[in-house]
């Protein structure tokens, strides 16, 4: 069980009890954060965080992430950076879930961020259809040589020197392939940056490939990726 500290003191007794039950982990953490009621709970808390968080000693009382959203929109970007230390100060339990099961929690945070940003700037969806959440200032800095299997599917922060660098590959959300044997168009396939769709065989000629990405029919979204070798 994680810390049951109540994040909000102005909720009524029933809300306090419901929130306490939400923090009771039954099964694995990943199974917990995939439950619909937990996803709604994370979404509610994160939305309030975005719309109300004020930095300590901020004399102007500016809402930090509304300001960052406005700056992001002004710069025509699609990534919203969330300071982990600020988030864990307000919602320690959800921040722990984010670090230990980042994929499902980030999905919820990105859905909420999109709604908040498009509500504040309705026309921005014509420029970027997808908003990404980037987590910064993770407090623990792991050494590469200390990374083990236990770190798989968790959020970690590492430092090192880049010794080898590949080219930059665009990230595709909607992708179509052409079969090089018969020319059939396959797809569209939908993917995110957690997973990549692999075509096993052609539905027309049953060939195992090769397949070529149909650039004109594919939809690129979000930042680009690059495979770096770090030591």
Is the CATH number 3.20.20.100 carried by domain 13-151? no
177, 199 Cβ separation under 8 angstroms: yes
The Cα 171–Cα 225 span in angstroms is 7
pLDDT at 16: 54
pTM for this model (two decimals): 0.64
* Start-to-end C-alpha separation, the chain: 36
pLDDT at 183: 87
The Cα 76–Cα 1 span in angstroms is 41
The Cα 105–Cα 213 span in angstroms is 31
Which CATH class for the 167-230 domain? mainly beta
Where are the alpha helices (H) located in 75-195, listed in sequence order? 84-90, 92-100, 102-120
Q: Is the peptide bond before 211 cis (omega within 30 degrees of 0)?
A: no
Helix, strand, coil tally for the chain in percent (to 5) = 40, 20, 40
109, 161 Cβ separation under 8 angstroms: no
The Cα 73–Cα 126 span in angstroms is 12
For the chain, what is the radius of gyration of the CA atoms?
A: 21
pLDDT at 18: 58
pLDDT at 95: 93
pLDDT at 230: 46
The Cα 5–Cα 86 span in angstroms is 16
The Cα 89–Cα 105 span in angstroms is 17
DSSP secondary structure string for all residues of 7-56:
S-SSS-HHHHHHHHHHT---S-HHHHHTSHHHHHHHHHHHHHHHHH---T
* Domain chopping of the chain, boundaries: 13-151, 167-230
Which residue in 218, 213, 226, 131 sits closest to 178, CA to CA? 213
pLDDT at 153: 77
Give the residue ranges of the chain where pLDDT is below 70.
Answer: 1-27, 166-173, 191-196, 218-231
Our CA angle for 124, 49, 137, nearest 5°, is 90
């Amino acid at each position: 069980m994680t810390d049951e500290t109540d994040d909000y003191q102005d909720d009524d007794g029933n809300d306090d009890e419901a929130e306490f039950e939400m923090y009771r982990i039954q099964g694995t953490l990943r199974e917990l954060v995939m439950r619909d009621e937990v996803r709604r709970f994370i979404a509610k808390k994160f939305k309030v965080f975005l719309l109300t968080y004020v930095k300590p000693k901020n004399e102007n009382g500016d809402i930090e992430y509304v300001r960052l959203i406005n700056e992001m929109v002004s710069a025509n970007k699609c990534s919203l950076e969330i300071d982990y230390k600020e988030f864990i100060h307000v919602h320690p339990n959800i921040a722990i879930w984010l670090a230990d099961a980042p994929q499902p929690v980030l999905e919820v945070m990105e859905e909420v961020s999109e709604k908040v940003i498009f509500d504040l700037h309705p026309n921005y969806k014509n420029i970027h259809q997808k908003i990404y959440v980037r987590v910064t200032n993770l407090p623990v800095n792991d050494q590469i040589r200390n990374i083990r299997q236990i770190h798989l599917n968790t959020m970690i922060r590492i430092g090192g020197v880049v010794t080898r660098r590949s080219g930059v590959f665009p990230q595709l959300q909607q992708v179509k392939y052409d079969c090089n044997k018969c020319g059939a168009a396959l797809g569209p396939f939908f993917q995110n940056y957690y997973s990549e769709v692999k075509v096993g065989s052609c539905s027309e000629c049953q060939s195992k490939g090769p397949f070529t990405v149909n650039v004109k029919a594919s939809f690129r979204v979000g930042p680009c990726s690059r495979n770096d070798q770090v030591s």
